[in-house]
A and B are shown apart, each in its own frame.
Chain A
């Protein structure tokens, strides 16, 4: 019977494709609903955000974003009346809620901390990873397999378990709640991924290129810098983005080892509260700003995603 059908097993029929496509699209749309809701909530007013039933259609407002970046205090009508007219649109918005802006919020600082620690640790882990990956790929290193496995196994520790001695160590060294401390820590966590991924990329570069360069009179180092590195550019970029996303999203270490100076955004965002009651539009706005870079990176990275999430074990 199967031989008499018009299509082969390998080439699915038009109908099959349509059904498959519909199902996948339905799933994709459903899976997007929470993200869309976060995005929309950022543009609601606080009363709209907690209305019952939830409002899908609403008048957009930037109040969430204003609240995200400012701290405000509630004042009496008499005091409000005594103020000069508002200078800016956001002051006007805040005044309409019987409040005045007391100053900037901590969100900007925390976001900047995320950027500093994210980029710093990414740079270091990719730098170290590139060197180690090249060495593992090209030279005969004694106990190479054991070392590689050891590098990977460090990733299996529950973060809280490592955090106990790190906490003690950092306290002694004065690294608690510093940018440097967090950069070192995230580098250590990311370097395993970086070595494994980059080794895969170096393995794919034919050795003939370097050998030709060596014969042309380059030293090993020159050959590495001038021949191998340019070939690794894509791999390095992909690895860097993976490291960056990890550092960007990390929560447990940041929660336990930072308090004010070097705290990153993930432990901070859930603590955004409004003036009496949770300020969901401000949280929505903060989450949107925080997730946006990752969304962009994910789209850029989609071809290498598989490799990244499996430590290079599965390639396409």
Chain B
């Protein structure tokens, strides 16, 4: 999204930057000085806290450095850390877990989020208030919420199992959401969906509202049925918004750490051990700083690469 927006902005900046150059120069600092004075602190901060660390991480990823052994000699190990990460079956397992989590959270959030937005767009009475209420979960602290969901998921005393048993008749202690191998991956999907469906809903709603009425009116004149209208007008017009929502959520969920670590801490076994959780274990519990730096770089390149490809696709959809 950033690129498409930037390119538009660049165009109108060019168009408008010419006429005013008359009034400035006269008094005080020159515009150029002010521009740099205003931008420099931000850039310096980001260089110090983001870029410098990133470069350092790249350097560390080629060494066998351990942050808990300051006195040990650091050796250059070349690509060995990368090789170890990429051939580690446990890390590939983390990737699979992350992919499963990513796919299903996106699937449910798009589906439910879009449906909700579509319903809200019917403008029933009081929709404003209810929309605000629906939005609340996504503003909360994921770690704190994750922690509390462990309570809701308790087989005997928790509300979740009790509600399920109320509707299905199954014994509430007969299944364990975060303790069983089969259910735990879904337990984290449920909480993430609960928390973040409002996000896609809100963006889809903006998309629906951006469709001008006259298009629907034209469709009506053409005697298009409601399904046709939906498939050939509503959906395509909302698509760029939907894809934007998926982009932002995917980046966030790929990095997912806090919610799941508090909910399952990766268990049972390693069934819900997302890439970030294992990265934290490698880096801050095992203190394999070099190896985990390589792991971090691989993750970063993956997100960055995938996001860029995705933005290209998004631009194609948008320009259609």
Residues of chain A having any CB pair with chain B under 8 Å: 1-3, 8-10, 12, 16-18, 20-21, 23-25, 27-28, 31-35, 37-38, 41, 49-54, 128-129, 131-132, 134-136, 138-141, 144-145, 147-154, 156-169, 171, 184-185, 187-188, 191-192, 195, 203, 207, 211, 214-215, 217, 219-222, 224, 245, 248-249, 251-252, 256, 265-267, 269-270, 280, 283-284, 287, 290-291, 294-295, 297-299, 302, 305-306, 309-311, 313-314, 316
B71 on the A face (CB < 8 A): no
Docked-complex contact A256 and B284, CB < 8 angstroms: yes
Tell me, rounded to whole Å, the shortest Cβ–Cβ distance linking A124 to chain B. Answer: 9
| CB-defined contacts of A245 to chain B, threshold 8 Å | 139
Beyond contacts A20-B124, A158-B255, A187-B45: 19 other A-B pairs, Cβ-Cβ < 8 A, are: A8-B217, A17-B125, A28-B133, A54-B158, A131-B37, A132-B39, A145-B9, A151-B46, A164-B283, A165-B52, A165-B54, A185-B49, A283-B148, A287-B147, A294-B141, A298-B139, A305-B202, A310-B244, A313-B244
Docked-complex contact A12 and B27, CB < 8 angstroms: no
Docked-complex contact A305 and B135, CB < 8 angstroms: yes
Tell me, rounded to whole Å, the shortest Cβ–Cβ distance linking B239 to chain A. Answer: 13
Partner of A31, one of B2, B39, B137: B137
Residue of B13, B140, B162 most packed against chain A (CB within 10 A): B140
Q: Interface residues of B, CB < 8 Å — how many?
A: 118
**B194 — nearest CB in chain A belongs to which residue?**
A31
* Bound Cα distance A38, B142 (Å): 14
Say whether, besides A25-B130, A129-B42, A157-B50, A270 and B29 are in contact (CB < 8 Å): no
Tell me, rounded to whole Å, the shortest Cβ–Cβ distance linking A7 to chain B. Answer: 11
Partner of B38, one of A134, A149, A184, A192: A134
| CB-defined contacts of A298 to chain B, threshold 8 Å | 132, 135-136, 139
Docked-complex contact B134 and A28, CB < 8 angstroms: yes
* Bound Cα distance A314, B7 (Å): 15
Say whether, besides A18-B124, A139-B31, A9 and B229 are in contact (CB < 8 Å): yes
Q: Would you list the 10 A-B pairs with minimal beta carbon distance, nearest first?
A: A219-B28, A21-B124, A161-B296, A188-B49, A165-B53, A251-B143, A249-B141, A135-B38, A131-B38, A20-B122
| CB-defined contacts of B185 to chain A, threshold 8 Å | none
* Bound Cα distance A35, B252 (Å): 23
Docked-complex contact B60 and A314, CB < 8 angstroms: no
Residues of chain B having any CB pair with chain A under 8 Å: 1-3, 5-7, 9-10, 13, 16-17, 20, 23-24, 27-29, 31-32, 34-39, 41-43, 45-46, 48-54, 56-57, 60, 67, 116, 119-120, 122-127, 130-145, 147-149, 151-152, 156-159, 162-163, 172, 194, 199, 202-203, 206, 209, 213, 216-217, 219-220, 223-226, 229, 241, 244, 248, 251, 254-255, 257-258, 262, 276, 279-280, 283-284, 289, 292-293, 296-297, 299-300, 303-304, 307
**B262 — nearest CB in chain A belongs to which residue?**
A270
Docked-complex contact A128 and B57, CB < 8 angstroms: no
* Bound Cα distance A147, B126 (Å): 43
- B interface, by DSSP: helix, strand, loop or mixed? helix
Q: What is the total of A-B residue contacts with beta carbons within 8 Å?
A: 324
A and B contact pairs by CB, cutoff 8 A, 30 listed = A8-B217, A8-B220, A9-B220, A17-B122, A20-B119, A24-B116, A28-B130, A54-B157, A132-B38, A135-B39, A140-B35, A145-B10, A153-B304, A154-B46, A158-B303, A160-B276, A160-B279, A160-B296, A161-B296, A162-B53, A164-B53, A165-B60, A188-B48, A219-B29, A287-B147, A291-B144, A305-B135, A311-B1, A313-B244, A314-B244
* Bound Cα distance A235, B258 (Å): 29
**A56 — nearest CB in chain B belongs to which residue?**
B159
Docked-complex contact B162 and A53, CB < 8 angstroms: yes
* Bound Cα distance A80, B184 (Å): 45
| CB-defined contacts of A150 to chain B, threshold 8 Å | 46
| CB-defined contacts of B50 to chain A, threshold 8 Å | 154, 157, 162, 188
- A interface, by DSSP: helix, strand, loop or mixed? helix
| CB-defined contacts of B144 to chain A, threshold 8 Å | 249, 265-266, 269-270, 287, 290-291
Docked-complex contact A157 and B54, CB < 8 angstroms: yes
* Bound Cα distance A283, B262 (Å): 14
Docked-complex contact A140 and B17, CB < 8 angstroms: yes
Partner of B159, one of A23, A54, A207: A54
Say whether, besides A2-B223, A149-B6, A306-B203, A158 and B300 are in contact (CB < 8 Å): yes
Tell me, rounded to whole Å, the shortest Cβ–Cβ distance linking B304 to chain A. Answer: 6
Docked-complex contact B140 and A249, CB < 8 angstroms: yes
Docked-complex contact A139 and B34, CB < 8 angstroms: yes
**A41 — nearest CB in chain B belongs to which residue?**
B151
